[in-house]
């Protein structure tokens, strides 16, 4: 049963669009957000907030 519950919330990687190569790891709900996730988060390498895009 545990495998079924984790299948709907997979672990995804968010990569910075600033080109620094910095990544965040998080989970998302596939039912609510089937498309690629785009979040604005802090990039410590660029030292500013930039958009992070889901990498598959």
Confidence (pLDDT) at 56: 80
Whether 50 has a pLDDT exceeding 70, the answer reads yes
- For 5-10, what is the mean pLDDT? 82
Supply the mean pLDDT for the chain.
92
Query: Distances from the Cα of 40 to the Cαs of 2, 6, 31, 32, 43, in angstroms?
Result: 31, 25, 21, 19, 9
pLDDT per position as a tens digit, 21-36: 999 999 999 999 999 9
Whether 2 has a pLDDT exceeding 80, the answer reads no
Containing structural domain, residue 51: 2-55
Question: What's the structural domain count of the chain?
Answer: 1
Give the CATH number, domain containing residue 15. Answer: 2.20.28.120
């Amino acid at each position: 049963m545990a495998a079924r519950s984790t299948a709907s919330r997979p672990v995804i990687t968010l990569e910075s669009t600033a080109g620094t190569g910095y990544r965040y790891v998080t989970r998302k709900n596939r039912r609510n957000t089937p498309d690629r996730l785009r979040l604005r988060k802090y990039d410590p390498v660029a030292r500013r907030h930039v958009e992070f895009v889901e990498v598959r």
